[in-house]
Structure 1
Amino acid sequence: MWQGFPIRPDQASTIARGVDHLYYFLTAVDLFFTALIFLTIFYFAIKYRRRSAETKATQVEGNLPLEVIWTIIPLGICAVTFVWGSSLFIRNSRPPEASTEIFVVGKQWMWKLQHPEGPMEINELHVPVRRPIKLTMTSEDVIHNFYVPAFRVQKDVVPGMYTSIWFEATSTGRYHFFCNQYCGTNHAVMGGYVIVMSPDDYEQWLSGGIRGESMASAGAKLYEQLACITCHGTGKGPPFVNLFGSQVKLTDGSTVTADEAYIRESILYPSAKIVAGYQPIMPTYKGQVTEEQILQLLAYIKSLGSGGAGQPGKPTSYPPSLEGGGHGAGNQNVGGQQSPATVPVPRGPGESQK
């Protein structure tokens, strides 16, 4: 119906129809009351026009029924809009448990998208149809915004923190995505395509493309190259097994959830929150690791189990990369501090190899 006159983008996700219905409702309410106000003004201008110089208008002090009506009706419309909009917002903010997580890093002026299985894409995202996808996003420089009109999803991508959105595509095809936040000279070209494929085609794409190592495997290598194993594998630092999602007790008596934001802060600003029972000996890795490398470390820590499996932070066994006490993995300084290592990371087209 709309192909010859496309007044709106395709509805290509499970949440698109609900967003559109709310939009249509708000548009209809706006049009109705705009027409009502203009017609009422036009009618009153004619009916109560001054017909002679001697005519004096009747002064009205108020009309209680009218005031009640024009209070209750807008209040009801606002209540409906609030309940409808908040229910959509809550639904769209909670990805299903079985979502596939893909990591996104925005920078001037490109998008770098990393699949958990290993492939990294620049300004393209391949996903299977009818599978929920969660995007965990951050920025290397300024605020960006990841916007897919056909899916009716968008979210600010902010340096120094993680944001996330999710979607489930309902039909195969190519769907444009944009940076929807002005981010500098080449903001207009910071876009790409989501390529939605059938499950079989997606698996074929995964197996036929150039596949790098998985995020967790890359994170395991970084764990050793950055000398994390020297402390976190010997008991000098908190263990990582079953850490993610657990409640961590701090030296000040408070607790914090070991989520993405907490782990990122601990890597870049290790003295911000000190775990109870441990000394503040960890050096900062700010300026030593990129956002992609932090995401790889996060994927590795997640692969070691969540806080819901067994006792949080108390592993019963260590994976191979945590065994052996970590001897020989990096230089240990006085007080247990390690010298951060600089590790190369794959770059996108046009990025400098620093």
Structure 2
Amino acid sequence: MNEHFLRLWPAQASDYAVSVDWLVIGFTAMMALFVVPVFVALWVFIWRYRRGRPADRDHRPQSNLPIELAWIILPFIGSLVVFLLSARLFFIARTPPEDALEVQVTARQWMWKFQHQGGQREINTLHVPARRPVKLTMISEDVIHSLFFPSLRIKQDVLPGRYSMLWFQAEHSGTYGVYCAEYCGTDHAAMLARLVVLNPADYEHWLADNGSSADLARQGETLYRQYGCASCHDSGNAPPLAGVFNRSVQLADGSQVKADEAYLRDSILLPQKQLVAGYLPIMPTYSNLLDEEAVQRLVAYLRELAEKHQ
């Protein structure tokens, strides 16, 4: 289809997009059902009782209980239905499937960088398979950005210093536009990307053709050894990392925290922020040595260690 053709509605690349569109259409129709009669009656009364026109203006106030109750109850029921449908879509958007394909996203002025678990890396283009859930774990290296997929009807802010999540399942192969929906600087309007949805077989071919010398976890393992992490974490001078991912960690202040992606990132870049109980604060910060992409590789390696430790 011609990309320059004026579209009233963006293309629908997922079942979720279809549900969002029907919700918007239904909500608009319900609003019109209650608003249009009010405006019609308003203009009828303006015309009928305009200045200089003979009309009986001595009407006593009348009450019609059934009409008044209907005017209250029907909008309430309609709004409740819209709320329930919206809550369902919100829950779906915030609950990725366990078997979702994971992709790491790093935003910076003014580009999108995508890292696949197999080590494939892309800039301003994201290849994904059709009919398979995809989970994006995102972070920004500078300012607030917002990853927006109009064809999927989903958008999520991408924040510096904090991971955010977005997931989708594209049903139809094709190429779709991706935008930054948060003003982020001079070239904000040029911070564009493409979502390329491939049939599963074509996606496997793309992975093979764009394979890296090592997957994301292997790259993380290389960094782990390069910076000598094992000298402390494997010797007892620092908390052991095998099996720590997604487990509860006891902190020195008596609280507990889940060792998820955000905790592990902070432990690498801000090691004094949350000290583990029973260990001295001897770990240096790596914020001046590792960028967000390198941290994502290390986290991928620690996640693999946990899976092997199970």
Percent identical across equivalent pairs? 43
- The answer to whether the 8 Å contact 1:243/1:306 transfers is no
* Alpha-carbon distance, 1:33 to partner: 2.8
* Alpha-carbon distance, 1:31 to partner: 2.6
What residue identity is the alignment partner of 2:139?
A: T
Q: Show CA shifts across 1:52-84 (max 9, x none).
A: 799654464976655543332332222111111
* Alpha-carbon distance, 1:253 to partner: 2.0
Q: Superposed, which structure 2 residues align to 1:271-282 within 5 Å?
A: 271-282=272-283
Other-structure match for 1:21? 22
Q: Show CA shifts across 1:274-323 (max 9, x none).
A: 1122222211222221000111111011111259x65xxxxxxxxxxxxx
Other-structure match for 1:44? 45
> SS at the partner of 1:145?
strand
* Alpha-carbon distance, 1:154 to partner: 1.1
What residue identity is the alignment partner of 1:28?
A: A
Q: Superposed, which structure 2 residues align to 1:138-217 within 5 Å?
A: 138-209=139-210, 211-217=212-218
- The answer to whether the 8 Å contact 1:123/1:193 transfers is yes
What residue identity is the alignment partner of 1:6?
A: R
Q: Superposed, which structure 2 residues align to 1:27-66 within 5 Å?
A: 27-49=28-50, 57-58=58-59, 60=61, 66=67
- The answer to whether the 8 Å contact 1:242/1:305 transfers is yes
Other-structure match for 2:305? 304
- The answer to whether the 8 Å contact 2:217/2:301 transfers is yes
Other-structure match for 1:75? 76
Partner Cα distance (1:21, 1:54) in 2: 45
> SS at the partner of 2:272?
coil
Q: What TM-score do you get using the length of structure 1 for normalisation?
A: 0.80
Other-structure match for 1:84? 85
Other-structure match for 2:255? 254
Other-structure match for 2:118? 117
- The answer to whether the 8 Å contact 2:48/2:55 transfers is no
- The answer to whether the 8 Å contact 1:157/1:163 transfers is yes
Unaligned runs of 5+ in 1: 311-354
> SS at the partner of 2:31?
helix
Distance 1:58 1:167, change over 3 A: same
4+ long deviations beyond 4 Å: 47-59, 61-67
* Alpha-carbon distance, 1:192 to partner: 1.3
Other-structure match for 2:268? 267
What residue identity is the alignment partner of 1:235?
A: G
* Alpha-carbon distance, 1:152 to partner: 1.3
Other-structure match for 2:289? 288
Unaligned runs of 5+ in 2: none
Distance 1:50 1:217, change over 3 A: same
How many correspondences in the alignment?
Answer: 308
Partner Cα distance (2:302, 2:55) in 1: 87
- The answer to whether the 8 Å contact 1:245/1:306 transfers is no
Partner Cα distance (2:55, 2:151) in 1: 63
- The answer to whether the 8 Å contact 2:101/2:133 transfers is yes
Q: What TM-score do you get using the length of structure 2 for normalisation?
A: 0.91
- The answer to whether the 8 Å contact 1:246/1:306 transfers is no
* Alpha-carbon distance, 1:5 to partner: 6.8
